Amino acid sequence: MVVPILGSVLLILIAGLNPKRNPVLVRCFVYGSTVGLLWLIAIQLFAPLALSFPDAATSRVAKFGTERIKASEASLGQYVFVIEGSSPTSRAVDGDLLESQLRAAGIAASVIQIALDGANHVERLQILRQFVQGLGATEVERLKQARVILCREVEFNYDRDPFNKVESNAFTDRTLSYINVQNLPEIVRWFGLNSSWKGLIRKRGLIGSLAAMETFNLFRVGYLERIENGSSLPPQNGFLPRETRAEDFNPSGPLPVSISVDSSKSELKLFRSTVPWVAARDAEYASLFEKMGATQFFFSVTTWHGSMTRYNAWLAQSTKPRYFFNGDTEALRQSLADPRLWADELHLRPAGARIYTLAFANYFIDAIRHHQI
């Protein structure tokens, strides 16, 4: 895609030059452009982008998912749950426990958890893309024979800003692994849908970082060194329990069971601003799993943050996703009220993760038995 676009731009520039006035300039420009275009074509052919960052977290999490499917010699079951998300999910959802609970209830299911701490939506797009691309024809066919449920984390801070943490982590291997040419169409589209004209000025630092990193990846800077020294880290499990409690997490009491879900006008305006780009994101995530006929399912993780709780309630009521597990129901909040179950305001400790996962499993068991999924 990139090469045709660059070629078209070069042709337009060449057409704008006057060969009668500057024949030498035109020849130099044509020769230089041709060499540059050939160089870019060679890079795309002989330096695959997929191999650029073999030890990046995105690659390791995606590899964990694909290897889990490939390693399963038995049937994947009637249902395959692919769970994506950020740190709330990687701390709260125990994929192995979820799978065992489903199977104990007589539901033949497999759970593939490819969540990653701190992953914004562009990074999660990269993880899902690498996961799907890592599947062979045999694995795709096995998934087609099952009911694939793509479980999507809902988290206000990431839904509000699809580029969360990009600028602050610019030019790290992790960020460079997903700010690349392959994801450029989605990056441009999401940025446009998530920004106003005033926002372009406010986000000029982000624009500069995105442009610089895209150029870095386009020309494969440091490619050979990473290839030679990479592939040394193992695949990364999407469930990473957090044992310790944050030092600055000292609530004065238990998690509030009942919390007001009434939002101010300014907060509602902020919630509604997410709708255009989130709709585009959902469509693009779905297209990755189109061959498998995946069903998108949304879920939120219990939180101490009032704004996130209100966003979850607003999402459930206004957009009405067909499948949505709200982690902020009174019953679940009551079960997770003890502060000792929490590492901080967003993340559960292992005992809390068990409670949340069991509630998650019971939701699926009930929905499947009543033919709602």
Instruction: Say whether pLDDT at 11 is over 70.
Output: no
Q: Where do the DSSP E strands lie in the chain?
A: 79-84, 109-113, 147-153, 295-299, 324-325
| pLDDT range class, residue 21, cuts 50, 70, 90 | low
Distance between CA atoms of residues 170 and 167, nearest Å: 5
Q: What are the distances in angstroms from CA 105 to CA 91, 177, 348, 363? A: 24, 40, 25, 12
Indicate the range of 8-17, 31-40, 264-273, 301-310 predicted with least confidence.
8-17
Q: What is the Cα–Cα distance from 242 to 344, expressed in whole angstroms? A: 10
Supply the pLDDT for residue 108: 95
Average pLDDT, stretch 216-240?
82
DSSP string, 263-321: --HHHHHHHHHTHHHHHHHHHHHHHHTGGGTPEEEEE----S-HHHHHHHHHIIIII--
Nearest-angstrom CA–CA distance, 148 and 161: 28
- Which tens digit of pLDDT belongs to each residue from 304-361? 999 999 999 999 887 777 789 999 999 999 999 999 999 999 999 999 999 999 999 9
- Residues 201, 214: Cα–Cα separation, whole Å: 20
Is residue 50 within 8 Å of residue 130, measured between CB atoms?
Answer: yes
For residue range 153-196, what is the model confidence (pLDDT) as tens digits? 999 999 999 999 999 999 998 999 999 989 999 999 999 999 87
The closest alpha carbon to 16, from 4, 1, 29, 3, belongs to 29
The closest of 115, 85, 88, 155 to 312, measured between CA atoms, is 155
Q: Are 52 and 223 in contact (CB under 8 A)?
A: yes
Task: State the pTM of this model.
Answer: 0.88
Residue 26 has pLDDT above 80, yes or no: no
Overall average pLDDT of the 12-36 stretch: 62
Residue 19: the pLDDT is: 55
Q: Is 215 exposed, middle or buried (0-12, 13-18, 19+ CB in 10 A)?
A: exposed
